[in-house]
Amino acid sequence: MAEARFLGWQKTPISQATFGGTTRGGRRNAKFSLKHSTGTVNEVESKYYILDASEAPVGRVATIAATILMGKHRTTFTPGSGSGDSVIIINASKTFFTSDKADKKVYYNHSMYMGGLKMKTAKQVLSETPEDVLWMAVQGMLPKNKLSRYQLAHLKIYKGSEHPHSAQKPIVISATKEPLKRLGV
């Protein structure tokens, strides 16, 4: 056993080995798992959904994807839990904006150096990296916390119609025929 020593803020000396162990306030278990109303994430069956980005504008595809990622389509939805499903967005290269948003919407990026501001219109970004446009749209619709980063890990975006997730037996959702009502939302 490690030698007992006294720290100024303690009433009694404790051994060094107890720090981070099972002492009061220490970590009892280094394993972290999200929990929600029906159990832990490992116990809940998650599904994969496919959205075709060529069917609807960027905003509509992003709202459907964000709703499924958050788990709002489930009857057991709990806001602070990772109870959502995975979303696969295909045909990102065929995505579009309505009216003249492609020319008016501007994406900003700064290098944190003087004069390092770079601006690109949505039309330029769509031609270079259409996945980034969809990613940023979905990210903006999720809550701003650690849970959203967990949920974004379940979002997969592909330029073409091919994807490597056929083993997960994804469910195809049409973005034009009220997809969330069919899921129960």
pLDDT above 80: residue 102: yes
| Choice between 12 and 128, residue whose per-residue pLDDT is larger | 128
- Residues 126-150, mean pLDDT to the nearest whole number: 94
The pTM score is 0.75
Number of domains in the chain: 1
Predicted pLDDT of residue 66: 95
CATH number at residue 128: 3.90.1180.10
94 has a pLDDT exceeding 90? yes
Within-domain flag for 84: yes
Terminal C-alpha separation, the chain: 58
Q: Tell me what pLDDT residue 2 has.
A: 56
pLDDT of the residue at 115: 95
The reported pLDDT for the residue numbered 80 is: 79
Instruction: Assess if residue 16 is contained within a domain.
Output: no
User: Has residue 111 been placed in a domain?
Assistant: yes
- 50 found inside a domain: yes
CA–CA separation, 147 and 70 (whole Å): 9
Give residue 178's pLDDT: 75
Chain segment 26-80, per-residue pLDDT in tens? 555 555 556 555 556 566 788 999 999 999 999 999 999 999 999 888 888 888 7
Distance from C-alpha of 94 to C-alpha of 118, rounded to nearest angstrom = 25
- In the prediction, which pLDDT does 42 show? 63
Tokens 């060094």, located at residue: 16
Query: What are the two backbone dihedrals, phi and then psi, of residue 18, each rounded to the nearest 5 degrees?
Result: -85, -15
Domain residues for the domain of 177 are: 46-183
The amino acid occupying position 153 is: A
Q: What percent of the chain has pLDDT over 90?
A: 57
